[in-house]
């Protein structure tokens, strides 16, 4: 239940903003959120999530209730271009690419958050 996007022509720093917004959400919630997101990376990530769902369906897994377990953005290739500067000097311009990997998992009942731990930060301090 994985899908990868390699050499996506946008810097990883910009793509991570979109990736962290949908991490841990259900596939349906993520697709709705990406539809209304104004970032350029939203459409390719939405397409990548759909590809991961199709991979899960191909493996015989029920696509209802899938969540985005992990979405990882790493740096890919770097295109190097040069810009002429003053006094005949050429300065480099680095155009970075991204590798995006999406892993899906099935939602389980065990992931219900337990809020039974008391938060007693004030109780640990002594009264003075």
pLDDT tens digits, 62-84: 888 899 999 999 999 999 999 99
Q: How many Cα atoms sit within 13 Å of 32 on the Cβ side?
A: 5
Confidence (pLDDT) at 114: 47
What does pTM read for this prediction?
Answer: 0.79
Q: Say if residues 22 and 68 touch (Cβ distance below 8 Å).
A: yes
Q: How confident is the model at residue 122 (pLDDT cuts 50, 70, 90)?
A: low
In the chain, the N- to C-terminal Cα span, in Å, equals 56
109: three-class secondary structure by DSSP: helix
What integer is the mean pLDDT of 74-99?
97
Confidence (pLDDT) at 18: 96
CA distances from 76 to 15, 17, 93, 98 (A): 12, 17, 16, 5
Confidence (pLDDT) at 121: 54
CA distances from 69 to 30, 39, 103, 117 (A): 12, 22, 6, 25
């Amino acid at each position: 239940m994985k899908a990868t996007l390699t050499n996506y022509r946008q810097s990883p720093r910009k793509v991570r903003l979109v990736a962290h917004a949908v991490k841990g959400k259900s596939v349906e919630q993520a697709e709705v959120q990406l539809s209304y997101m104004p970032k350029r990376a939203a459409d390719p990530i939405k397409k990548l999530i759909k590809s991961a769902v199709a991979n899960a369906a191909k493996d015989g897994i029920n696509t209802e209730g899938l969540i985005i377990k992990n979405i990882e953005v790493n740096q890919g290739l770097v295109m190097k271009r040069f810009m002429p500067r003053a006094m005949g000097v050429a300065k480099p311009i680095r155009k970075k690419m991204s590798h995006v990997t999406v892993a899906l998992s099935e939602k389980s009942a065990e992931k219900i958050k337990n809020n039974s731990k008391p938060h007693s930060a004030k109780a640990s301090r002594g009264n003075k």
